[in-house]
Amino acid sequence: MIYGIALFPDKDVQDAANSWRIRHDPHYCNIPAHMTLREAEEWDDIMVERAVTHLEEVAGSVKPFHVTFNRVSSFFPVSNVLYYALEDPSEVEKLHQAICSGPGMQQPYNYVYTPHVTIGRNMPEGELHDLYGKLRMSRVNLTSYIDRIHLLYQTEQGGWTAYQSFQLRG
């Protein structure tokens, strides 16, 4: 089965992201607006057990924190993705590092980890530039309280659902 690890921002952030995702993100119906902490990967039952143990340890050592999304940015030309960017990504980056440092949790990345909430993906280049030009001029000030991480799995229909959630209590 395919598993991944994510954060879900507060409802107002999800609502703001979803107002764009409904038209510009083909994954809109499969998963709520989120921040990926670890990319999806096929795991067996042993790896799931290891991940649960590790995520419990991480959650026990990390305090809840606030994040602020302050702008729209893009991964172009690497990929045609628009996203809400964090004013200060350091807390999410530390959490990502803690999660990916566990046994069997290391993943080879071909990119620098950038915590974000996607608002559009797989867009034609012209549409991406038009929308980005419009959105980068708009004011973004969305805050979210992060107090848990979620181990998710992908269903046979392609949707994602929570396998287990871990409350941050450090």
Sequence-distant (6+) residues with CB within 8 A of 22 are 28
Between CA 34 and CA 44 the distance in angstroms is: 24
E-only strand ranges, 33-104: 35-42, 65-74, 82-86
Neighbours of 68 (CB within 10 A): 14
Our answer to whether residue 34 is catalytic in this structure is yes
Asked about 116 being catalytic, the answer comes back as yes
Look at the block and give the residue holding tokens 């999410």.
Answer: 92
Contacts of 89 (CB under 8 A, 6+ apart): 67, 114, 115
CA distance 145 to 78: 30
Q: Given 24, 54, 96, 116, which residue is catalytic? A: 116
Q: Which of 58, 146, 52, 40 is nearest to 98 (CA)?
A: 58
Beta-bridged to residue 129, according to DSSP, are none
Catalytic residue among 24, 34, 96, 150: 34
Residues 70 and 104: beta-carbon distance below 8 Å: no
**What is the set of active-site residues?**
34, 116
